[in-house]
Structure 1
């Protein structure tokens, strides 16, 4: 009986730790801490080039405003970018990029101009 009680206690303890742990789990979006990291800047440039291929809209990067990553079958990156168009008008864009480095697969999942995101990310 005592062994069974210990086993149940260990089971509940491990469940408690896994549920309330501060570490990111697979599938969670995790903030990117250094938006000026060369790898993040490279992803931002790739996003702009892929968007240009799909839309013929040429944008130049002003800044990466916010970024998050999500691990799973590869890594998803969700970046909020400030970019200028050819008329020098600056807009905010949200883009999601899927990278499977181990197979050299890269895919622009979505790229959209956004206004509501400004309030959500406390940019204005």
Structure 2
């Protein structure tokens, strides 16, 4: 008899953990912790983060890159939002692509450039 109660209890615990640990978006995609593709790279918020990345890189490296557009990107929800963006920039008349990683925490109004590199 004790075995049946223990088994039932463990099954309930496992189901509860599974239900409350997962956060699902559209079509059953897990959103917390997974990277999700940005479907509208021309969205004003995406552009704002892209421009921020270029501005911070220019300030940190004494560069003069000019923002052109966000080509593509992904977001990840973790104790805030991670942005992984591919951005087109102009560098002294030539077009280049770069990859920027930005962390943003909305509640504390924090936005930080984590990494930046030219990929072309």
Q: State the TM-score, normalizing by the size of structure 1.
A: 0.74
Aligned length: 112
Secondary structure of 1:80 counterpart: strand
CA contact (8 A) 2:31 2:76 kept: no
User: What are the within-5 Å matches in structure 2 for residues 61-100 of structure 1?
Assistant: 61-87=67-93, 89-100=94-105
Q: What per-residue deviation string (whole Å, max 9, x for no partner) do you get for residues 76-114 of structure 1?
A: 100001110133x11110000000110011110000011
Structure 2: gaps (5+ residues): 23-27
Choose which of 22, 39, 52 in structure 2 pairs with 1:33: 39
Structure 1: gaps (5+ residues): 116-124
Choose which of 36, 39, 48 in structure 2 pairs with 1:42: 48
- Aligned residues: CA RMSD: 2.3
Q: State the TM-score, normalizing by the size of structure 2.
A: 0.76
Return the alpha-carbon distance in structure 2 between the equivalents of residues 33 and 3 of structure 1: 48
Question: How far did residue 12 of structure 1 move?
Answer: 7.7
Aligned residue in 2 for 1:56? 62
Secondary structure of 1:49 counterpart: helix
Matched, 1:109 2:118: no
Q: What per-residue deviation string (whole Å, max 9, x for no partner) do you get for residues 47-95 of structure 1?
A: 11000000111111222111100101110100001110133x1111000
